[in-house]
């Protein structure tokens, strides 16, 4: 491990708004803030919003600045990335932000049923070949139900045509109430403060001609969820996102990779 990463990990241990709870300790003691985030950390009763796979925390901190009437928790397994957002929140004295280093599959270990009001999923790996790992699959919807209030809102922002199409099909197949849905967010006419938040990589995708997709929907607790019929026939993306390799522009697919 590089010295820079080690330095970041050491600093993360000193930031009060960062929680890194070893799995062994989690299983033996449980997480003390589960069911008590409002009382013991945020010290208010404002809605709690999670960003899953928060990376550098650009959305976590950006949304927290836009919506001071909500509490935001960025979640990622990679602490070196999270360090950027954690330092920003600390240095700005943001009181409605926290960061949690853990696997998404462990959400029920950290949050009580109904403790979360909204979930943001920002630019995840679309997992085109592995539906069980897809963060908008019905498997993960069942997981989110364990912590999300009934009718809580899920937001997906993605550069992936595949994931956007799959998620749209999943919501339609299960009769989930869609609040907003567009395959070209920045030319959709939607007027929303979320348009003000763009990550470094998101701006690069836009600069290269890719469109950003956005869908938000409510997740009820009293329905049986099923995978959408025909999802296996969705066309795979013709490029790779930055986090999974170099970009290959669809209009430049001539057999050579762009540098």
Residues marked active site are found at 125
Question: What whole-number distance in Å separates Cα of residue 166 and Cα of residue 126?
Answer: 9
Question: What whole-number distance in Å separates Cα of residue 100 and Cα of residue 79?
Answer: 9
Q: In what order do the strands lie in the sheet with 213-219?
A: 18-20, 97-101, 71-76, 48-52, 116-122, 148-158, 213-219, 178-182
Kindly state the DSSP code that residue 195 receives in the 8-state scheme: G
Are 61 and 51 in contact, with CB atoms under 8 Å apart? no
* 188 Cβ contact list (under 8 Å, min separation 6): 182, 214
Strand partners for 213: 158
Task: Supply 192's token pair.
Answer: 């929303």
Question: What whole-number distance in Å separates Cα of residue 239 and Cα of residue 245?
Answer: 9
Question: What whole-number distance in Å separates Cα of residue 35 and Cα of residue 146?
Answer: 12
Instruction: Residue 158: name the closest of 102, 220, 210 by CA.
Output: 210
Question: What whole-number distance in Å separates Cα of residue 18 and Cα of residue 25?
Answer: 16
């Amino acid at each position: 491990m590089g010295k820079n990463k080690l330095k970041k990990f050491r600093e993360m241990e000193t930031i009060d708004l960062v929680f890194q709870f070893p799995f062994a300790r989690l299983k033996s003691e449980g997480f003390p803030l589960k069911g008590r985030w409002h009382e013991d950390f945020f010290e208010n009763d404002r809605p709690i919003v999670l960003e899953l796979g928060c990376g550098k925390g650009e959305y976590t901190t950006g949304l927290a600045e836009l919506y001071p009437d909500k509490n935001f928790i960025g979640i990622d397994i990679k602490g070196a990335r999270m360090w950027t957002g954690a330092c920003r929140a600390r240095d700005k004295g943001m009181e409605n932000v926290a960061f949690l280093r853990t696997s998404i599959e462990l959400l029920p270990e950290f949050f009580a049923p109904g403790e979360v009001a909204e979930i943001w999923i920002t630019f995840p790996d679309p997992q085109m070949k592995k539906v069980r790992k897809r963060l908008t699959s019905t498997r993960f919807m069942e997981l989110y139900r364990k912590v999300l209030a009934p009718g809580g809102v899920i937001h997906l922002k993605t550069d992936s045509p595949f994931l956007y199409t799959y998620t749209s099909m999943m919501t339609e197949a299960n009769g989930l109430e869609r609040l907003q849905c567009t395959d070209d967010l920045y030319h959709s006419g939607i007027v929303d403060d979320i348009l003000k938040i763009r990550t470094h990589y998101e701006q690069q995708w836009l600069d290269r001609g890719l469109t950003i997709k956005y869908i938000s929907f409510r997740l009820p607790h009293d329905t049986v969820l099923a995978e959408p019929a025909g999802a296996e026939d969705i066309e795979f993306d013709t490029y790779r996102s930055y986090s999974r390799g170099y970009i290959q522009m669809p209009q430049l697919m001539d057999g050579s990779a762009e540098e």
